[in-house]
Amino acid sequence: MKKLALAALMTTFALSGCSTMGMDNERTMVVEGQPMNVKVVNIPSFKVEVAPRKAVCDLTASDGNKIESQCLQYRQAGQRNFTSLNGNIQGFTYEPNYRYMLDVRQEAVTAEGSNVVQPVWMLNEVISKTAE
């Protein structure tokens, strides 16, 4: 029985290793005005400031068409300019006219129907919420 349990455990590890092979975990992002290929990785904690107003941004719909939407604006410590976030922060409810300091984490998640890894931001903690 112990041998069977050990074999099942080893098979699980082997299959989980195989499931990550061949995934495209690189994305092209604009960093300081220049397009760069970056690897999407899990980040357990980082702090971002969310602006009190959303910005107009272009999002890509599931059919590939560009649509105009409103996106959160964020910046990390030490950055002067805000960047539009093309997506949401899971677990965070935005209210306009408030400036937020958040502790978030990033998880690399495989998009449904493809091997493309996407970054997903999740709220760890609301550090501060200040009325503007």
Q: 29-53: per-residue pLDDT in tens?
A: 555 566 656 566 788 899 999 999 9
| Domain residue ranges in the chain | 2-131
DSSP SS3 for 14: helix
With beta carbons less than 8 A apart as the criterion, state whether 73 and 83 touch: yes
d(CA 49, CA 73): 8
DSSP SS3 for 11: helix
Neighbours of 71 (CB within 10 A): 17
d(CA 9, CA 15): 10
Q: Tokens in use for 54?
A: 């959303």
Q: How confident is the model at residue 64 (pLDDT cuts 50, 70, 90)?
A: confident
Q: How confident is the model at residue 61 (pLDDT cuts 50, 70, 90)?
A: confident
Question: What is each CA distance from 63 to 51, 60, 66, 84, 94, in whole angstroms?
Answer: 30, 8, 9, 22, 27
Q: Which of 117, 132, 86 is nearest to 24 (CA)?
A: 117
* pLDDT, mean over the chain: 76
